Amino acid sequence: MKAIAEILKEHGMKVTPQRLAIFSMLQNSYSHPTAEDIYNEVVLTNPSISLATVYKTLDAFSKAGLVHELHFVNEHSNYDAHMEDSHSHLICTQCNKIFDYKSELFPNLASSVSTDSGFDISKSHFTFYGICPECKSK
């Protein structure tokens, strides 16, 4: 895996301690955190960071294609830095947790839709809502 500083440089971004901390947190998380979640974790090791810096950094990462900004279950965006693998999301309608779901069906479906419609698909995303096994067992 490439070093975070190298990834930022490849995307024309200045390497700062705040950006390194935020991107590292996102790369090591599969929980699809909100900006507030990210701030609450990153501030523990970077006490001078502000919530505004987190929002600005996430916006820059999103525009650079380093993270997906996801709009699902609440008024806040969630963020996903796992761009290298094609995956969809499962959202529990009871606990609001977001889970990654990988399947070979999705790239094939996008290709089929493109062929059938003549539409050049640049990006696709599938989201499924339901009740997770943990909530179902309660």
Domain 88-136: CATH class, spelled out: alpha beta
C-alpha 61, offset from chain centre: 10
Task: Give CA separation, 38 vs 17, 33, 51, 84, 134, in Å.
Answer: 14, 6, 9, 21, 25
Q: Where are the domains of the chain?
A: 4-80, 88-136
Per-residue pLDDT, 68 = 87
Question: Which tokens belong to 49?
Answer: 């960071």
Q: Which amino acid is at 57?
A: T
Q: Per-block average pLDDT, block size 10, for the chain (138 residues)?
A: 83 93 92 94 96 96 90 78 79 89 79 90 83 94
> Domain 4-80 belongs to what topology?
Arc Repressor Mutant, subunit A (1.10.10)
